[in-house]
C-alpha cells in the first residue's frame, strides 16, 4: 500500500493499492519413516507408529528414526495402533479462522480432540459429532476412514474423524 | 571467565493492529533509533547485529535483508535467529553469547513483527509441514483452549479468574504508552461478555496480533558502565526446546511429557541459588498468550504451589501495586508483535529495574527481575536480570 496524500488530522489517508500475486508450489517428501505411516494408511487402513528399542516407548505421530528421550536409533520396529479409544479432551471452534489457501473464512465443524487409544497412546484428531451438547469426556470412539482408495494417501488425514460408539 | 553482559539501550515502537503508514524497515528503524538514543550511541558503534522475527508471518523470506541500511548494519557482521515464539529471547541470548565469548563488546538485537502484511494464525496453519502437520494445526487459539480446559479441571480455577487476568493486563496496558490493546475494562462481567473464539477461550482471553518492533543494545561489563548510568545486567538465562507434536500441547495433561517450563526454571533457579522465587525475585514479565496460561505459568515458574496460580490473581498479588508484580506493561495479552514479544518482556523488565517504566512502574523497588518467553509447542526461555552484579 502506498499513501496517496498526507494524513490530515481526523481524515483517513487515501491509499494506492499495489497488486501482486503469490503463486506457491511446493513438493515435500515424507521420507522413510513417515512414508511407512502413509503407506499403511492408504493400502491397509491401518494406523502405525514405531517404537524405541531402549525405553520401548511408542513414538506417536510422526514416526521417527531417533527416540527423542533416549537419543538412540529406533531401528525398524513397528506397532499397529488400536482404532478405538475414549475422548480424553475436546474443544470446538466458535469463531471461523482465516484460510490462506482459499482466501476466505474457514471453520472445520469437527471438534479437535485428544483421543486416548485403547493401548494408552494419546492421539490428536477430530470428532465426527458436531453437536457439542452430545459430547462428553470419556465417550468411546472409533476411527472412521476415507473409504475411497483414490482419495486416501493423506497420511493421518485418511482418518476422517472419530465416531462415538456404544460402550 | 566469560565477560558479563548488560542492557545499555532499550527502544520500542508503539504497537497497533496496522501500520500502513510505514514499510517493514521503516517500522523497525523506529525501534532502532529509540534504542540508540537511549544508549546515546550511533549505529557506527554497534559491532554485531542479531535479527529476529517469526518466519513466514509476513509471507516473505529474509525480511532482514530489506532493512540492513535502515538499521545501520551495512558492512557489519550479524546473524538471524528464528525459533518460533521464543525467537526474540534466543536473539538476546545470541547477543549475550557474542559478548561473553569475547568476540564483540557491543551488540544490537533487532526484533519485529508486522502482522498487517498477513495473518499469524494463517501462517501457522498454512505454513505447517504438509506431510505430517496439515489439518492437525488450527492455530494457537485451539491449543490454548485445550490448555484452559486442563487448567480448569485440575486447579479449580473458574472463568472469573481468567477475566481477572485480563483486567490486570488491561490496567497495565492503559498506563503503558507503547501497548496495543487499551480496552478500559471495568469489571469481570464485561470480560465474560466477550464471545468465545474456540471454547472455552474468549476473545478477551487471548493476545492480539500487533505490528511493532523492539531493539536492545547489549554491552560488555567494561563498556556498559561507560555507556549508560543505569546498565541492567543479564546475569543468567536458560532456553529449552522440544519437538513439535511430540511435546503435546501447552500444559498438555496427557502426562507423558516433561514440560519445558519445569526444566528451564529448575536449571535457572538451581544455578542461581534461588529457592523462594517470590522472595528472591522482585518482579516478572512473562510471555502469556492467554489468561489461562498466565495462571498456569505462575505454577510452572514456581511463583506459587501447584493449582494455586489463580489464587495469586484472586488476591491481587501480581498487580502493579502487589507484592510480586507480573506484567505491569500489560503483557502479551495487550501487545503481541510475535518476533519482538520476548524482547519486549526483557526490555520491560529492564525498564522496571532502571525505574524508567513511567506510569506502569511497579510500586515496590525492583532490583531483580525475571523475563520469560514461550513458543512452539511448549518451548521456554527465561532471563534473570539484576540492577547490580
| pTM for the model | 0.91
Q: Looking at the predicted structure, is the pLDDT value of residue B249 above 60?
A: no
Q: Looking at the predicted structure, is the pLDDT value of residue B250 above 90?
A: no
User: How would residue B299 be classed by pLDDT, with cut points 50, 70 and 90?
Assistant: very high
Q: Looking at the predicted structure, is the pLDDT value of residue B65 above 90?
A: no
Q: Looking at the predicted structure, is the pLDDT value of residue A31 above 80?
A: yes
Render pLDDT for B337-378 as a digit per residue (tens, 0 to 9): 999 999 999 999 999 999 999 999 999 999 999 999 998 767
User: How would residue B127 be classed by pLDDT, with cut points 50, 70 and 90?
Assistant: low
Residue B1 has what pLDDT?
Answer: 43
What is the percent of chain A where pLDDT is above 90? 50
- C-beta atoms of A15 and B256 within 8 A: no
- C-beta atoms of A155 and B129 within 8 A: no
- C-beta atoms of B126 and A101 within 8 A: yes
Domain locations in chain A as residue ranges: 30-81, 82-167
User: How would residue A166 be classed by pLDDT, with cut points 50, 70 and 90?
Assistant: confident
CA–CA min distance B261, chain A (Å): 17
Q: Looking at the predicted structure, is the pLDDT value of residue B124 above 80?
A: no
Residue B313 has what pLDDT?
Answer: 98
Q: What is the average per-residue pLDDT within B91-104?
A: 96
A-chain residues near B195 (CB < 8 A): 94-95
User: How would residue B251 be classed by pLDDT, with cut points 50, 70 and 90?
Assistant: low
- As its CATH architecture, domain B5-120+209-227 has 3-Layer(aba) Sandwich (3.40)
Q: Which residue of A has its CA nearest to B144?
A: A91
B-chain residues near A122 (CB < 8 A): 248, 254, 256
How many angstroms separate the first and last alpha carbons of chain B?
A: 15
Residue A167 has what pLDDT?
Answer: 78
Burial B110-149 (b: 16+ CB within 10 A, else e): bbbbbbbebbbbbbbbbbbeebbbbbbbbbbbbbbbbbbb
User: How would residue B261 be classed by pLDDT, with cut points 50, 70 and 90?
Assistant: confident
Q: Which residue of B has its CA nearest to A3?
A: B21
Render pLDDT for A44-60 as a digit per residue (tens, 0 to 9): 999 999 999 999 988 87
Most confident of A22-26, A121-125, B190-194, B259-263: B190-194
Q: What is the average per-residue pLDDT within B22-45?
A: 96
Burial (Cβ within 10 Å: 0-12, 13-18, ≥19) of residue A21: exposed
Q: What is the average per-residue pLDDT within B321-350?
A: 97
Q: Looking at the predicted structure, is the pLDDT value of residue A33 above 60?
A: yes
Q: Which residue of B has its CA nearest to A117?
A: B254
Q: Looking at the predicted structure, is the pLDDT value of residue B153 above 80?
A: yes
- C-beta atoms of A91 and B199 within 8 A: yes
Q: Are B92 and B349 in contact (CB under 8 A)?
A: no
Q: What is the DSSP letter of B358?
A: G
Residue B126 has what pLDDT?
Answer: 62
- C-beta atoms of B138 and A28 within 8 A: no
Listed by number, the residues of chain B in 21-50 with a beta carbon closer than 8 Å to a beta carbon of chain A are 21
Question: How far apart, in whole angstroms, are the C-alpha atoms of residue A7 and residue A30?
Answer: 52
Residue A145 has what pLDDT?
Answer: 98
Diameter of chain B measured on Cα atoms: 57
Q: What is the average per-residue pLDDT within A92-102?
A: 70
- C-beta atoms of A93 and B198 within 8 A: yes
Q: What is the average per-residue pLDDT within B42-69?
A: 89
Residue B134 has what pLDDT?
Answer: 62
pLDDT averaged over every residue in chain A: 86
Q: Which residue of A has its CA nearest to B57?
A: A100
A-chain residues near B199 (CB < 8 A): 91-92, 94, 132
Q: Looking at the predicted structure, is the pLDDT value of residue B253 above 60?
A: no
Residue B358 has what pLDDT?
Answer: 97
Q: What is the DSSP letter of B73?
A: -
User: How would residue B257 be classed by pLDDT, with cut points 50, 70 and 90?
Assistant: low
A vs B, Cβ pairs < 8 A, gives: 97
Q: Which residue of B has its CA nearest to A112?
A: B142
Question: How far apart, in whole angstroms, are the C-alpha atoms of residue B182 and residue B202?
Answer: 17
Residue B144 has what pLDDT?
Answer: 86
Q: Looking at the predicted structure, is the pLDDT value of residue A5 above 80?
A: no
Q: Looking at the predicted structure, is the pLDDT value of residue B256 above 70?
A: no
Question: How far apart, in whole angstroms, are the C-alpha atoms of residue B234 and residue B322?
Answer: 24
- C-beta atoms of B198 and A88 within 8 A: no
SS3 string, B102-141, reads: CCCCEEEEEEEEEHHHCCHHHHHHHCCCCCCCCCCCCCHH
Domain locations in chain B as residue ranges: 5-120+209-227
Interface check A93 vs B, CB under 8 A: yes
- Which residue, chain included where needed, has cell 471495568? B186
Interface check B145 vs A, CB under 8 A: yes
Residue B247 has what pLDDT?
Answer: 47
Q: Looking at the predicted structure, is the pLDDT value of residue A96 above 60?
A: yes
Residue A109 has what pLDDT?
Answer: 83
Q: Identify the weakest region by mean pLDDT among A10-24, B258-272, B315-329.
A: A10-24
Residue B210 has what pLDDT?
Answer: 94
Q: Identify the weakest region by mean pLDDT among A95-104, B164-173, B316-325, B353-362.
A: A95-104
Q: Which residue of A has its CA nearest to B245?
A: A61
* pLDDT top residue among B280 and B128: B280
Residue B252 has what pLDDT?
Answer: 58
Question: How far apart, in whole angstroms, are the C-alpha atoms of residue A115 and residue A22?
Answer: 37
Burial B219-255 (b: 16+ CB within 10 A, else e): bbbebbeebbeebbbbbbbbbbbbebbbbbbbbbbbe
pLDDT averaged over every residue in chain B: 91
User: How would residue A98 be classed by pLDDT, with cut points 50, 70 and 90?
Assistant: low
CA–CA min distance A62, chain B (Å): 7
Statement: A82-167 belongs to CATH 2.40.50: yes
Amino acid at each position: 500500500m502506498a499513501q496517496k496524500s498526507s494524513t490530515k488530522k481526523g481524515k483517513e489517508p487515501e491509499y494506492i493499492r499495489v497488486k501482486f500475486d503469490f503463486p506457491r508450489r511446493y513438493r515435500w517428501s515424507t521420507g522413510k519413516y513417515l512414508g511407512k505411516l502413509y503407506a499403511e494408511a492408504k493400502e491397509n487402513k491401518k494406523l502405525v507408529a514405531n517404537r524405541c528399542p531402549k525405553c520401548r516407548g511408542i513414538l506417536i505421530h510422526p514416526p521417527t528414526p531417533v527416540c527423542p528421550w533416549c537419543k538412540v536409533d529406533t531401528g525398524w520396529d513397528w506397532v499397529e495402533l488400536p482404532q478405538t479409544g475414549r475422548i480424553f479432551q475436546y474443544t470446538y471452534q466458535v469463531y471461523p479462522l482465516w484460510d490462506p489457501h482459499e482466501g476466505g473464512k474457514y471453520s472445520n465443524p469437527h471438534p479437535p480432540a485428544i483421543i486416548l487409544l485403547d493401548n494408552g497412546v494419546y492421539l490428536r484428531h477430530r470428532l465426527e459429532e458436531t453437536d457439542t451438547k452430545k459430547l462428553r469426556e470419556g465417550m468411546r470412539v472409533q476411527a472412521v476412514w476415507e473409504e475411497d482408495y483414490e482419495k486416501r494417501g493423506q497420511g493421518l488425514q485418511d482418518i476422517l474423524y472419530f465416531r462415538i460408539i456404544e460402550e | 571467565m566469560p565477560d558479563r553482559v548488560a542492557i545499555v539501550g532499550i527502544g520500542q515502537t508503539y504497537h497497533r493492529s496496522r501500520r500502513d503508514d510505514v514499510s517493514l524497515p521503516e517500522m523497525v528503524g523506529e525501534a532502532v533509533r529509540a534504542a540508540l538514543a537511549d544508549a546515546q550511541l550511533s549505529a557506527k558503534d554497534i559491532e554485531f547485529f542479531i535479527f529476529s522475527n517469526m518466519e513466514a508471518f509476513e509471507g516473505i523470506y529474509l525480511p532482514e535483508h530489506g532493512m540492513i541500511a535502515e538499521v545501520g548494519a551495512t558492512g557489519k557482521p550479524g546473524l538471524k535467529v528464528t525459533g518460533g515464539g521464543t525467537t526474540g529471547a534466543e536473539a538476546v541470548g545470541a547477543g549475550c553469547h557474542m559478548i561473553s565469548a569475547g568476540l564483540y563488546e557491543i551488540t544490537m538485537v533487532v526484533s519485529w513483527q508486522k502482522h498487517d502484511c498477513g495473518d499469524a494464525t494463517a501462517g501457522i496453519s498454512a505454513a505447517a509441514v504438509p506431510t505430517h502437520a496439515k489439518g492437525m494445526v488450527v492455530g494457537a487459539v485451539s491449543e490454548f483452549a485445550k490448555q484452559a480446559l486442563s487448567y480448569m479441571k485440575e486447579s479449580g480455577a473458574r472463568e472469573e479468574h481468567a477475566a481477572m487476568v485480563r483486567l490486570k493486563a488491561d490496567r497495565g496496558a492503559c498506563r503503558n504508552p507503547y501497548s496495543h490493546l487499551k480496552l478500559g475494562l471495568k469489571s469481570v462481567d464485561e470480560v465474560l461478555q466477550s464471545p468465545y473464539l474456540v471454547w472455552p477461550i474468549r476473545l478477551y482471553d487471548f493476545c492480539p496480533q500487533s505490528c511493532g518492533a523492539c531493539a536492545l543494545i547489549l554491552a560488555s561489563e567494561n563498556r556498559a558502565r561507560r555507556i549508560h548510568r543505569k546498565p541492567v545486567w543479564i546475569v543468567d538465562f536458560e532456553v529449552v526446546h522440544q519437538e513439535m507434536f511430540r511435546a503435546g500441547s501447552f500444559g498438555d495433561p496427557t502426562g507423558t511429557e516433561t514440560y519445558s517450563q519445569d526444566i528451564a526454571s529448575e536449571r535457572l533457579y538451581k544455578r542461581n541459588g534461588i529457592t523462594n522465587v517470590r522472595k528472591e525475585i522482585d518482579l516478572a514479565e512473562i510471555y502469556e498468550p492467554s489468561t489461562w496460561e498466565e495462571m498456569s505459568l505462575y505454577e510452572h515458574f514456581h511463583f506459587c504451589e501447584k493449582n494455586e496460580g489463580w489464587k495469586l490473581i484472586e488476591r491481587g498479588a501480581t498487580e502493579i501495586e502487589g507484592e510480586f508484580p507480573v506484567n505491569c506493561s500489560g503483557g502479551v495479552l495487550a501487545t503481541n508483535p510475535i518476533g519482538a514479544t520476548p524482547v519486549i518482556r526483557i526490555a520491560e523488565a529492564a525498564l522496571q529495574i532502571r525505574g524508567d517504566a513511567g506510569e506502569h512502574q511497579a510500586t515496590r523497588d525492583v532490583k531483580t527481575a525475571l523475563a520469560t518467553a514461550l513458543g512452539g509447542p511448549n518451548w521456554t526461555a527465561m532471563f534473570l536480570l539484576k540492577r547490580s552484579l
